[in-house]
Amino acid sequence: MNQRAHPGAVFLYTDYTRLGPYVGHLHARLLQAVDPAPTVIDLMHDAPAFRADCAAYLLAANLPYLPADAVVLAVVDPGVGTERPGLILRAQERWLIGPDNGLLAVAAQDGADVEAYRLPPAPPGIPATFHGRDVFADAAAQVAATGRPPSGAERVDHWVGQKWLRDWDALIYTDGFGNLISGRRGASAPSHADVLIGGEALGQAEKFADVPEGTAFWYVNALGLVEVAVNSGSAAARLGAAPGTPLRWRPRGEPLLQSAPRPGS
Amino acid sequence: MNQRAHPGAVFLYTDYTRLGPYVGHLHARLLQAVDPAPTVIDLMHDAPAFRADCAAYLLAANLPYLPADAVVLAVVDPGVGTERPGLILRAQERWLIGPDNGLLAVAAQDGADVEAYRLPPAPPGIPATFHGRDVFADAAAQVAATGRPPSGAERVDHWVGQKWLRDWDALIYTDGFGNLISGRRGASAPSHADVLIGGEALGQAEKFADVPEGTAFWYVNALGLVEVAVNSGSAAARLGAAPGTPLRWRPRGEPLLQSAPRPGS
Amino acid sequence: MNQRAHPGAVFLYTDYTRLGPYVGHLHARLLQAVDPAPTVIDLMHDAPAFRADCAAYLLAANLPYLPADAVVLAVVDPGVGTERPGLILRAQERWLIGPDNGLLAVAAQDGADVEAYRLPPAPPGIPATFHGRDVFADAAAQVAATGRPPSGAERVDHWVGQKWLRDWDALIYTDGFGNLISGRRGASAPSHADVLIGGEALGQAEKFADVPEGTAFWYVNALGLVEVAVNSGSAAARLGAAPGTPLRWRPRGEPLLQSAPRPGS
């Protein structure tokens, strides 16, 4: 394949945490896979652990902030070590590489003309427990260098999560400040509505400073997602909520509007 | 503006923590802002949260260890989302970019001929909650690439914290080992003096190994600041102290010497 | 010395944690030490704190995953601030730089024709507490740039840990998921044997999914080391074990096989 003069950037999105050598091994492998090596950026390593569904909605909200031709190496996989084949999706001018468990699926819904490829099976002798390093990293580096799917990848038409709803009225991530991010995009949220969660009805605000300290509210966060927060406090502690908790909407002063199904259900 | 062949390096100094996508978005934005992209280094992301005063003294102590022409993108902002204009300071051959809340002010005191600029207001439609990514990152990338303030920045003469004392006799940061860093530079600390904190009088040592295990002491740390530590232990746990706690000095065997005002008071 | 066109990569392996400015200062120093600056990768910063012995075995298992000519800047040093001279080892086509306390020794055992050098003493005025930044970083950058030991380094024949056993039947690291990594390589582990730890006898599995949820087992991890884990749980919490805890082997159904000495004992 033709090498491009400047390889694209690889963004890492995992649930590995920053502890241990795992993220370091991804970087080390990407450094050795192609020459010149791609730029590698840690997008985040505390993606919702073992929750490919939650992590898929959060990844989708991040994609627009990455450059065109970005390659996202994504790993959130409760079935790690099983014989799950690797998936590559091309959508919105960006590439997504990771397990075929829904993790990549929501991000691919926003683009037209999505292309999907299945990675060839890992060669024998590859440990079953670190496909991020031993399978996906080489594929990501090749894609970044060439702008094309890696050799051996086969075009496919179906993948897990392909039919999941684009918005999910549920909490998907608790950040380090206790803010609760949901899978509902602000652009598709009901207007003039309260969020019902943990037995409370929360009004909308534009930003933290618009409500008194200690007050819970919802707003459209800097990723474009509906987020539940408490000014100068932790919404997670206050509301006892966690990833997977459903979110309900109610017109101001009205009774319950809708329930929150699991994605794809 | 003329692009320089090799852009300067951008150093990130925030209270975002390493959790969530926030630091990743800074990197992603800096990668896209100018071509070639600047080198980006994470100086630290656990700067004293919501304490622009503490964070300002810690930033000032870090500056001498950064290369000339370094651009520091600094964000510690309890008023995030309010209409605070962005500030750029040029001091000690380095650039500082962030909110005008005192965070940049102490670092600028060490240099002669400080230049200050105010960033133009964020264009409409920019979310109020992530100026680090949506306003400061582009400005930092432009400064790194050109060695000049970004287009639209206006020269100003006044900024918050301009008159703060250069040294602050208070704790400003607790590190991951429980060591307590103060805002007092070792070079201006009293000689032959004890530190009074949490009801204890602590003697000076050159390094940890000079005192018995479990003993609290003060020393001049590798940033040049007075630091309170316990050999093989946590000074924070032992002394029950935190950022903002005042530090007092006493000549060995003498009574109380001075009190610890807030910076600027 | 001749500068090579493309300096080798420097990998950081420390117990500094990600908190505070310490890792940032290593990056800042490496950026300024040579031109062009080396690529710098954070291998890990939660190496076993204050346990140079445990950290040495973990470092050795990481080395094969780094590129040839990689330079590892390693710092785990309970005696930080004492007059410990710096050590450089050349082994397996890679370079190791750090304190002479055993940390580098195990990684050097796998290679033939190991070369060892002692760094010159730190010049007067260097703080005693941050040799990683003030001594080792410059040396690492020079080695990365030139492929040769830094000027002033003297060839030596002896170093701490030179005679330590290559395998150590003890736990050396607890990862963020509570998995317990040992100093025993899978390639030299007894076959058809149980691991005895915390009063339990654990059988071998190939991967997590091979045992029921909540079951403790041992397997050869993605670093090639024997690791004790619990499917969907924390082995550290379940077994009450930590770095330094001995590991014993027993043929299936047989009584105790061997004990676990300290390395070098």
Residue B262 reports pLDDT greater than 70: no
Domain assignment present for A151: yes
B257 found inside a domain: no
> Do B90 and B120 belong together in one domain?
yes
Residue C36 lies in a domain: yes
Q: What is the mean pLDDT of residues C217-221?
A: 95
Cα-based distances in Å from A184 to A226, B128, B149? 6, 19, 39
Quick: pLDDT tens for B97-150. 999 999 999 999 987 789 999 999 888 877 778 999 999 999 999 999 999 999
**Does residue B4 lie within any of the structural domains?**
no
Rounded distance between C-alpha atoms, residue A154 and residue A151, angstroms:
9
| Mean pLDDT along residues B217-225 | 95
For residue C208, list chain A residues with Cβ-Cβ distance below 8 A. Answer: 80-81, 129
Last residue of a domain, one of B100, B128, B155: B155
Does A209 sit within 8 Å of B32, measured CB to CB?
A: no
- The least confident of A248-257, B54-63, C101-110, C145-154 is A248-257
Taking contacts as CB-CB distances below 8 angstroms, the residues of chain C near B9 are 31
What is the pLDDT, as a whole number, of residue A77?
A: 82
Beta carbons of C44 and A128 less than 8 Å apart: no
Mutate which: A27, A40, A51, vs C, most C CBs within 10 A:
A27
Is the pLDDT score of C73 beyond 60? Answer: yes
Name chain B contacts of A39, Cβ cutoff 8 Å. Answer: 31, 37
**B150 & B209 share domain:** no
- Residue percentage of chain B with pLDDT more than 90: 73
pLDDT at C265 over 50: no
Residue C110, C-beta contacts closer than 8 angstroms, at least 6 positions apart: C60, C63, C91, C92, C166
Instruction: List, for residues A66-97, the tens digit of each pLDDT value.
Output: 999 999 999 998 766 666 779 999 998 999 99
**One domain for residues B141 and B77:** yes
Residue A244: burial class (beta carbons within 10 Å; 0-12, 13-18, 19+): middle
Q: Which of C:65-94 have CB within 8 Å of A?
A: 65-67, 70
Q: How large a percentage of chain C has pLDDT more than 70?
A: 90
Kindly tell me the number of DSSP H helices and DSSP E strands found in chain C: 6, 14
Structural domains counted in chain A: 2
Of C18, C23, C28, the CB nearest to B66: C28
pLDDT for position A81: 60
- Looking at residue C88, what is its pLDDT? 98
C124: closest CA of chain B, how far (Å): 14
pLDDT for A100 beyond 50: yes
- State the pLDDT at residue A113: 84
Q: Using CB atoms, which residue from B43, B209, B223 is nearest to C79?
A: B209
Chain A, window 173-232: residues with a beta carbon less than 8 angstroms from a chain C beta carbon = none
Structural domain includes residue C45? yes
Would the CB atoms of C31 and B44 count as touching at under 8 Å?
no
Residue A160 covered by a domain: no
pLDDT of residue C253: 65
- Quick: pLDDT tens for C54-71: 999 999 999 999 999 999
* Local confidence band at A102 (pLDDT 50, 70, 90 cut-offs): very high
**Whole-number pLDDT of residue A232:** 86
What does pLDDT average to over chain A?
89
Q: Are residues C123 and C240 in the same domain?
A: no
Looking at the structure, do residues B234 and B138 belong to the same domain, yes or no? no
Residue B259 confidence (pLDDT):
46
The pLDDT of residue B209 = 82
Residues of chain A contacting residue C42, judged by C-beta atoms under 8 Å apart: 23-24, 27
The H or E element containing residue B139 is helix B137-146
Distance CA C28, CA B13 (A): 13
* CATH value at residue B188: 2.40.30.90
Domain range for A26 is 10-155
How sure is the predictor about C43, in pLDDT bands with cuts at 50, 70 and 90? Answer: very high
Q: Do B11 and C29 touch (CB under 8 A)?
A: no
By Cβ distance, the residue of B9, B175, B206 closest to C128 is B206
Report yes or no for ipTM above 0.85.
yes
Same domain, A118 and A203: no
pLDDT value for C263:
58
Q: Distance of CA C35 to CAs A203, C30, C137, Å?
A: 55, 10, 14
Identity of the residue in A66, A70, A222 whose CB atom sits nearest the CB atom of B127: A222
Q: Are residues C141 and C207 in the same domain?
A: no
**pLDDT for position A258:** 43
Q: How confident is the model at residue B250 (pLDDT cuts 50, 70, 90)?
A: very high
| Domain edge (last residue) among C155, C177, C212 | C155
Q: Are residues B22 and B119 in the same domain?
A: yes
Residue A138 lies in a domain: yes
Distance of CA C56 to the CA centre of its chain: 4
Whether residues A148 and A204 fall in one domain: no
Domain membership of residue B3 (yes or no) is no
Rounded distance between C-alpha atoms, residue C143 and residue C132, angstroms? 15
> Domain containing A31 — which CATH number?
3.40.50.10790
Residue C3 confidence (pLDDT):
42
Determine whether the interchain pair C208/A29 forms a contact, defined as Cβ–Cβ distance below 8 Å. no
Same domain (yes/no): C30, C115: yes
**Is A31 within 8 Å of chain C by CB?**
yes
Clarify whether residues C134 and C190 are in a common domain: no
CB pairs under 8 A between A and B: 71
Taking one residue from A and the other from C, the number of pairs with CB-CB distance under 8 angstroms is 68
With a pLDDT cut of 70, the percent of chain A lying above it is: 90
Domain endpoint, select from A155, A181, A198: A155
Question: What local confidence, expressed as pLDDT, does residue C6 receive?
Answer: 55
Q: Domain check: are C32 and C89 in the same one?
A: yes
Instruction: Return the pLDDT at A6.
Output: 56
Chain C contacts of B93, Cβ < 8 Å?
none
Note the pLDDT of residue C259.
45
Q: What tens digit of pLDDT does each residue of C135-148 get?
A: 999 999 999 999 99
Confidence of residue C81 (pLDDT cuts 50, 70, 90): low
Contact across the interface for C28 and B220, Cβ inside 8 Å: no
B24 touching chain A per CB within 8 A? yes
